Amino acid sequence: MKNYTLFFNHISLNNIPTVGGKNASLGEMINEMSSLGINVPNGFALKTNAYKEFLSINKLAPIIKDTLSALNVSNITELESAGSLIRKAILSSKIPLHIEMEIKQSYFKLSQQYGVNNVDVAVRSSSTAEDLPEASFAGQQESFLNINSAEKLILHIKKCYASLFTNRAISYREAMNFNHMEALISVGVQKMVRTDKSTSGVAFSIDTESGFKDVVLINACYGLGELLVQGTISPDEYLFFKPTKAIIEKKLGDKAKRMIYDGTKSEDPTKIVPVSKAKRDSFCLSDDQIKKIGNAVVKIETHYSKKLNRWTPVDVEWGYDGINNELYILQARPETIHSNKLNGAIVQYEIDKEEGVSPILEGVAVGDRIGIGKVIVINNLKDISSFKPGNVLVTEMTDPDWEPIMKMAAGIITNKGGRTCHAAIVSRELGIPAIVGTKNGSTALKGHKEVTISCAEGEIGFVYKGKCKFKKSIFNASDLPDIKTPLMLNVASPDLAFKFSFLPNEGVGLAREEFIINNYIKVHPLALLKHKSIGDSELTHQINKITKGYSSEKEFFITKLSHGISKIAAAFYGKEVIVRFSDFKSNEYRNLLGGKYFEPEEENPMIGWRGASRYYSDEFKEAFELECLAIKKVREEMGFTNVIVMIPFCRTIEDCEAVLSIMKEYGLERGKQGLQVYLMAEIPSNFILADQFAPYVDGFSIGSNDLTQLTLGLDRDSHLVSHLYDERNLAVKELIKLLIVKAKNHGVKVGICGQAPSDFPDFAQFLVELEIGSISVTPDSILKTVSAINKIEMRTLKKVS
């Protein structure tokens, strides 16, 4: 006697040929990971033999073969007609009675297990073609939620069978040269988790954009997770760092709608309702919940990596039950996009923006590529026949039915969606640049003929009018020559840190707080603390808008700054990351929101109130306290002890003593818990008095830009004297030589974080010959700097020999 159903607790990965990848994974987790605290709702699989018998008895195989044999999938009309014919044939057929009876018996057994008459279940397709090493077929078929009767279950099983022949599934199999008749389908019937009363989402045990493997990316929304996957809403986004179990980023999504159970008699078992403003403006997960999800995903990744004997990143669907508040894992599968592409090649795109070129639209960047093409705005699926290869697709949002034209696109732009929506997932897999969540892309780009899509500038994607020039560099890190001089990176944007971590490096020689404050905080720190007493209602309104989701303005600043720093520290974990305290000049601080109330107007801010002298001043020390507390959080709470702090623009020994004293007052003490303090050596006094500065610091980092202007007495921002500006001037080089010699005498490290070594090979030679401790350059200079240093070191070696 044949058995057509199998409960999850009798399934493992060995059962993929009969229950498909999705069901096999559920069984594997229930049997192997329950003891580790991984909760998976129970259920059963309808095996592939039921599908084969369904096709045979209803004589559907000849219909499918004949319909698809001469199909041209590039012809959208023809594809739609073929898919529709097959789906109608499947839905009008009957599941054999003996199979139907076994399905109902298993459903009643599952209902009894949960103590109800008709248990609410999710009905999901589970294909045997899912997650093959060469292709990911996941997400090609349908899922149905809150199915709560045996009769509805039978109907929705047929709908799962029919979804094997949606337009996108047919097109995808054709593209992957996969035989349609070999794509067998199982159906998973799983107890629903009441996420309609709580939260749900997806998580990846890898950064989906860069392939960085030490984080868990979590997307979350209120209610059932279908709206998140569809891209109908912008979810909250969180990053969990695996080695230290720290949350290193939180982004507030709009979450304007949620899907819940429909308690009425309507045919649709779910409905979509609005989310209150208070909930939209709050993170939908607590820190404890984020960490619980992160830890669960790490356990699942570890299990599959051991089981498959290779590192296996995973893609997980999760949900919190609103009745018992427990976390449940609803699905887990191997992540196939980045794990298939980790071949050692490093590809870099860099856009060449001509002067005056500014973006006309922005949104969430997917991938790191650049695309150029003619804009085609499509608002309805029936209009997709107008789309041609090489066009840029602009639409409200995509769903799987759009996939046949998505693979022809030079780029994709959507109004809605987040990093894990349908458009993002498919674009990533196809290697097409996409910008999602633009809000108004389909209207803003009307009338534009050609645009450039840039996803190469961080997490924000930009759309530029017309055709922009760009360059593409491809190299393999293993092909670069070995060098003795430690080469570090200058990293400004936390958004690009994961990507830069794949470059050859010895850590980060300079991470600027100014970039994080300017781009992520956007408000003057004193305006955050004191805006209510200023009496500017518009300023208060803007600050309230920016700080939504946080309990206070102080918490907002500390959290945002700590997350920006920790993201860079995570990317280079195990290596030194030198973080410079804020070095805004007064005119730059004035440009921040509310800055005009706290900043003087100086004639020459370049040599005015900046750096060390600010930190201990009565006017600014409240703001500096926030910086110290953020660093303390990064090192002591989040575990990034690889972070070193650096004091900029420190004019005198008294300056240095005062800053160290106030740092200690705010919880940062040099030497305590391994804290190192560096001095940005950029003022001639730092070099001349290096013997006196050395006892107060653990290292010097030479800032050649300010050193050059102060040594030569010129303003580097003035075009009138720019022809005199040259880091290779003998006076500048003599000061550098003096510092290196004196620092070595005191056993203090010296590095340089200016651009000169990468721009001028002779300057790099000068530094290498002085045996400088490290050279730190911008990531786009890494190739030429490595080559230049290698040539210098080889010449030096020949001279010695």
**587 within 8 A of 602, measured Cβ to Cβ:** yes
Provide the percentage of residues in the chain whose pLDDT is more than 70: 95
* Statement: residue 284 has pLDDT above 90: yes
Structure tokens at 498: 């994961």
pLDDT tens-digit readout, 306-348: 988 999 999 999 999 999 999 999 999 887 665 555 455 677 7
pLDDT in tens, 535-550: 999 999 999 999 999 9
Pick the closest to residue 415 from 389, 388, 434 (CA basis).
434
Q: How far apart are CA 281 and CA 278, in angstroms?
A: 5
| Eight-state DSSP code of residue 459 | S
State which of 202-211, 436-445, 547-556 shows the largest mean pLDDT.
547-556
Q: Which residues contact 110 (CB under 8 A, 6 or more apart)?
A: 7, 42, 43, 44, 119, 121, 189, 191
CA 105 → CA 150, 186, 190, 617, distances in Å? 9, 17, 15, 77
The Cα diameter of the chain in Å comes to 94
Residue carrying the six token digits 């391994």? 674
Three-class DSSP category at 342: coil
Alpha-carbon distance of 152 to 740, in angstroms, equals 78
pLDDT of residue 129: 62
User: Which of the residues are catalytic?
Assistant: 422, 753
The values of phi and psi at residue 158, to 5°, are: -65, -35
Lowest mean pLDDT among 264-268, 339-343, 518-522: 339-343
Residue 249: the pLDDT is 97
Q: Which token pair is 192?
A: 């629903």
**293 Cβ contact list (under 8 Å, min separation 6):** 203, 216, 218, 240, 285, 318, 327
| 616 three-class SS | coil
Place of tokens 């939260």: 199
**Prediction pTM value:** 0.87
| Residues forming a β-bridge with 321 | none
Local confidence band at 136 (pLDDT 50, 70, 90 cut-offs) = very low
CB count in 10 Å sphere of residue 720? 8
- Phi/psi for 35 (5° steps) reads -70, -15
Name residue 570's amino acid: A
Predicted confidence at residue 477, as pLDDT, reads 72
pLDDT at position 778: 83
Burial of 401 (0-12, 13-18, 19+ CB in 10 A): middle
pLDDT value of position 341: 53
Measured between alpha carbons, how far is residue 795 from residues 259, 762, 765 in Å? Answer: 68, 13, 10
Q: Which residues contact 14 (CB under 8 A, 6 or more apart)?
A: 24
Q: How many CB atoms lie within 10 A of CB 332?
A: 26
Cβ atoms within 10 Å of 450's Cβ, excluding its own:
15
Angle at which helices 653-665 and 621-632 pack, to 10 degrees?
A: 60
Of 744, 763, 787, nearest to 705 (Cα)? 763
**pLDDT class for 762, splitting at 50, 70, 90?**
confident
pLDDT, tens digit, 9 for 90 and up, residues 206-253: 998 888 999 999 999 999 998 888 888 889 999 999 999 999 999 999
- Residue 252 tokens, joined: 């507030």
Per-residue pLDDT tens digits for 364-374: 888 888 999 99
Task: Please tell me the predicted confidence (pLDDT) of residue 135.
Answer: 41
- Pick the closest to residue 515 from 560, 570, 575 (CA basis): 560
Could you tell me which residue, 668 or 170, shows the higher pLDDT? 668
Question: Average pLDDT for residues 465-492, to the nearest whole number?
Answer: 85
Q: Rounded to whole angstroms, what are the CA distances from 289 to 203, 224, 245, 616, 743?
A: 13, 17, 12, 39, 48
Q: What is the mean pLDDT of residues 419-435?
A: 81
Contact 434, 414 (CB under 8 A): yes
pLDDT at 142: 74
The two structure tokens encoding residue 327: 């976390």
Whole-angstrom Cα distance, residue 611 to residue 686? 14
**What mean pLDDT comes out for the span 436-443?**
90
Supply the DSSP symbol for 722: G
Q: Give the SS3 label for residue 656.
A: helix
To the nearest 10 degrees (0 to 180), the angle between helices 97-113 and 48-57 is: 150
**Cβ pair 737, 707 in contact under 8 A:** no
Say how far apart CA 623 and CA 212 lie, in whole Å: 33
pLDDT bucket at 1, cuts 50 / 70 / 90: low
What is the spatial distance between Cα 160 and Cα 144, in angstroms, rounded to a whole number?
Answer: 8
User: What is the model's pLDDT at position 374?
Assistant: 92
Tell me the percentage of the chain whose pLDDT exceeds 90. 65
Query: Is residue 427 pLDDT above 90, yes or no?
Result: no
Most confident of 428-442, 498-512, 651-665: 651-665
Tell me, what's the pLDDT at 659? 98
Do 227 and 257 contact (CB within 8 A), yes or no?
yes
Alpha carbon 388 to its chain centroid, in Å, reads 30
Can you give the pLDDT at residue 338? 57
Task: List the Cα angle 245/247/248 in 5-degree steps.
Answer: 115
pLDDT for the residue 791: 84
Distance CA 369, CA 381 (A): 26
H/E stretch holding 742 reads helix 730-745
Tell me what pLDDT residue 123 has.
96
How many Å apart are CA 453 and CA 366, to the nearest integer?
Answer: 11
> At 433, which amino acid appears?
P
Give the CA dihedral 286, 292, 298, 299, nearest 10 degrees.
-170
pLDDT at 195 over 80: yes
- Predicted confidence (pLDDT) per residue in 13-61, tens digit: 899 999 998 999 999 999 999 999 999 999 999 999 999 999 999 999 9
Type of residue numbered 7 = F
Q: Which residues contact 670 (CB under 8 A, 6 or more apart)?
A: 660, 663, 664, 676, 677, 698
User: Above 70 in pLDDT, residue 134?
Assistant: no
Mean pLDDT computed over every residue of the chain: 90
Residue 305 Cα distances to 24, 188, 302, 577, angstroms: 16, 24, 5, 30
Of the candidate ranges 156-160, 176-180, 621-625, the one whose mean pLDDT is the lowest = 176-180
* DSSP-assigned letters across all residues of 549-608: TSS-HHHHHHHHHHHHHHHHHHHTTTSEEEEEPP---HHHHHTSBTGGGT----S-GGGS
Nearest to 545 by CA among 530, 563, 523: 523
**Strand, helix or coil for residue 372:** strand
Q: Rounded to the nearest 5°, which phi and psi values hold at 18?
A: -105, -20
How deeply is 174 buried, as exposed, middle or buried, from its count of CB atoms within 10 A (0-12, 13-18, 19+)?
middle
The answer to whether residues 249 and 563 touch, using CB atoms and an 8 Å cutoff, is: yes
> How confident is the model over 178-199, as a mean pLDDT?
92
